């Protein structure tokens, strides 16, 4: 069984109990991690608190040097880390390498540079305005992008001068352990980074409520995010939340329909649909609706379900039996509410593993459950509209506002409509995801931003010195 990383050393949990890590493609137990308890949280937070004065007071170039070394070592080990991610959460290996591993390595390198370059003070009239690290940060991360979501929090926090206690998802923890090994090997000072494994209601809640934690950064479901924010409010600590999404792919009548549908299906199904920013609602003009549905069905049929280590695989398994069961319930609910299943469904595509067929629904009304709630699986809802105003209302007509897309005959036209949407990021005519631009949501998709310069700003307190 693996151990916890606290104060620069590996140690057993006080509990002595284990959580089994399951390969979702084979349903076999591949590892065991400690089931942490509040006493482990106490030890980790104390270690982070002890190390904070020296780390926050270190020269920026020293922090940059260590983070650069970590980014370089992560890049060197990218193949091994990608294989671990493909094994414990099921991403196809090519995606696990390019997106799940090399992209976070690039983000880590960007924050290494920012450790030195990001401005820490400015003059406003007779005041010197300075930025100081917020303190001890509790980072709680999910299983769907198990390294990227960690780096989005840990890298800017360390670059800013904060110390960190990380709780990754116990469902897919292997990438977190790989990163802890890297930080240890490059010589990150003891206590600056600490790793706890365990269940959210036990370890995560103890971290969020801990009086010696100055900030909690959480990524996960909106329901869990509300709980984290409630616990954190008791000690009035800073909270950053990156939560759910139900993003819209809005296709205007003058757009390239085939390109928009093809890209929309790909975005919805990437990572087996386990992406908070996935475009899970395709909004198409009624005159083009039937054609778009047919295109989506044809595209969906090209998404081969299979072993993450098979080069032909485009969709791996869902991360767990519980997640597969959740997605199946939503597919059944869609049919019960009158949506028309035109691709996929609830039949098991393979005899072993937590797989779901890529699924497409037509005849979806905006108020249906499958058009309102985050499914977190490869399920696409196609919704018709008759006017641009109605299309915008449908796109904005959920409690979420994380991502989305607009397609139009010209970039200017797409931007005009995108500006009207209440969402944190919008792809214009297929614009690529930028890991160095701010990421976050409106409404119940979250509070705060990750990535880019706004990402490091989350980890500063601001002080004014009147001169």
| Residues marked as catalytic | 242, 276
The two beta strands, 9-11 and 4-6, are: antiparallel
Nearest partner of 178 among 189, 166, 161, judged by Cα: 166
HSE-CB of 457 using CA atoms within 13 angstroms = 11
Helix axes 78-88, 174-186, angle to 10 degrees: 150
CB of 162 closer than 8 Å to CB of 136:
yes
The two beta strands, 400-401 and 340-343, are: unpaired
For residue 428, give both structure tokens.
Answer: 């214009």
CB of 450 closer than 8 Å to CB of 439:
yes
CB of 206 closer than 8 Å to CB of 38:
yes
């Amino acid at each position: 069984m693996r151990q916890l990383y606290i104060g620069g050393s590996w140690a057993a949990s006080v509990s002595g109990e284990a959580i089994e890590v399951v390969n979702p493609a084979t349903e076999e137990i591949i590892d065991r991690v400690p089931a942490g308890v509040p006493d482990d949280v106490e030890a980790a937070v104390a270690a982070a608190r002890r190390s904070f004065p020296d780390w926050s007071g270190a020269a920026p170039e020293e922090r940059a040097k260590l983070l650069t070394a970590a980014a370089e070592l992560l890049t060197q080990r990218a193949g091994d880390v990608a294989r671990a991610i493909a094994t414990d959460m099921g991403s196809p290996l090519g995606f696990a390498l390019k997106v799940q591993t090399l992209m976070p390595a690039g983000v880590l390198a960007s924050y290494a540079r920012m450790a030195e370059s990001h401005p820490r003070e400015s003059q406003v009239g007779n005041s010197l305005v300075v930025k100081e690290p917020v303190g001890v940060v509790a980072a709680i991360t999910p299983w769907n992008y198990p390294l990227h979501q960690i780096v989005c929090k840990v890298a800017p926090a360390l670059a800013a001068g904060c110390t960190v206690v990380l709780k990754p998802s116990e469902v897919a923890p292997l990438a977190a352990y790989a990163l802890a090994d890297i930080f240890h090997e490059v010589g990150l000072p003891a206590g600056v980074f600490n790793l706890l494994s365990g269940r959210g209601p036990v370890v995560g809640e103890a971290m969020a409520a801990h009086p010696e934690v100055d900030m909690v950064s959480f990524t996960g479901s909106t329901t869990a995010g509300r709980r984290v924010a409630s616990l954190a409010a008791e000690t009035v600590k800073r909270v950053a939340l990156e939560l759910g999404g139900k993003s819209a792919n809005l296709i205007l009548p003058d757009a390239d329909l085939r390109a928009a549908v093809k890209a929309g299906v790909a975005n919805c199904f990437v990572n087996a649909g386990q992406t908070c920013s996935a475009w899970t609602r395709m909004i198409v003009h009624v005159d083009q609706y039937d054609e778009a549905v047919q295109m989506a069905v044809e595209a969906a049929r090209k998404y081969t379900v299979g072993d993450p280590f098979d080069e032909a695989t485009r969709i791996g398994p869902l991360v767990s039996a519980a997640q597969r069961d959740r997605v199946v319930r939503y597919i059944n609910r869609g049919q019960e509410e009158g949506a028309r299943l035109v691709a996929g469904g609830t039949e098991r595509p393979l005899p072993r593993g937590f797989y779901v067929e890529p699924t497409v629904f037509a005849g979806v009304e905006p108020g249906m459950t499958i058009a309102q709630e985050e499914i977190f699986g490869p399920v696409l809802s196609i919704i018709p509209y008759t006017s641009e105003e109605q299309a915008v209302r449908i796109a904005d007509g959920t409690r979420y506002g994380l991502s989305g897309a607009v397609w139009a005959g010209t970039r200017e036209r797409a931007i005009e409509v995108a500006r009207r949407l209440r969402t944190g990021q919008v792809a214009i005519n297929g614009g690529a995801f930028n890991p160095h631009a701010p990421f976050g949501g409106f409404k119940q998709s979250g509070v705060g931003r990750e990535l880019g310069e706004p990402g490091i700003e989350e980890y500063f307190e601001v002080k004014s010195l009147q001169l």
